[in-house]
Amino acid sequence: MRPHARNLLKFAALLCMAMAATTLLAASIDMDSIGEIDVKGFQTNGVATSKDGKRNFLWKLQGNEAQVALPVYNLQDFRMTIEGDDPSFGTYLLESPRCIYNHETQQLRGDGVLKLTGPDSLEIYGIGYDFYWKDQQDGLRLVIRDAVKIQFQIDAVKKWSSSPKENALPTIPTK
């Protein structure tokens, strides 16, 4: 056997042993008994799908620091990027100094300041927010509780109002 092939075989064997040890260690940890874990550079991502299955939203959640007590993550300096599977949806970025992320329910909550930026120079600011992307009819829902400020380009509003119905902004049902 050539030296290169032997080294590759040794590396593969070491990698398999390391993966087996990691799996055994992870299986032996009882997360309830650990309590809270501090994580630097937290990141997770996924896909939210509308109930009708017609739209997918790719999301990526990051935090400079996280205190984890499963299923709840307390994130510091969080950023969330959201992109639709349709390019016309654009890219949105949510930012806040702190938030609570519940992995089980896939919800974000925060009592502080939130900034949302989107296509066409859209900027939304507010204080206190709830963001849901699991089991929502339209896939995503952001509720800002107080002091909402919205900035946008007037040309973008004209474009939204002239778009076909399926691409138009969603309407808010009234009681």
Greater confidence, 67 or 36? 67
| 157-164, Cβ contacts within 8 angstroms, sequence gap of 24 or more | 159/120
Please say whether the beta carbons of 125 and 149 come within 8 A: yes
pLDDT at 117: 93
pLDDT at 134: 62
Q: Whole-model pTM?
A: 0.64
Greater confidence, 106 or 101? 101
| Distance between CA atoms of residues 100 and 111, nearest Å | 9
Average pLDDT over residues 50-65: 81
∠ CA 73-76-78, nearest 5°, is 90
Greater confidence, 26 or 3? 3
Query: pLDDT tens-digit profile of 33-51?
Result: 556 888 888 888 888 776 6
pLDDT band at residue 174 using 50, 70 and 90 as cut-offs: very low
pLDDT at 43: 86
Query: pLDDT tens-digit profile of 5-27?
Result: 455 555 554 444 545 444 444 44
| Distance between CA atoms of residues 87 and 105, nearest Å | 27
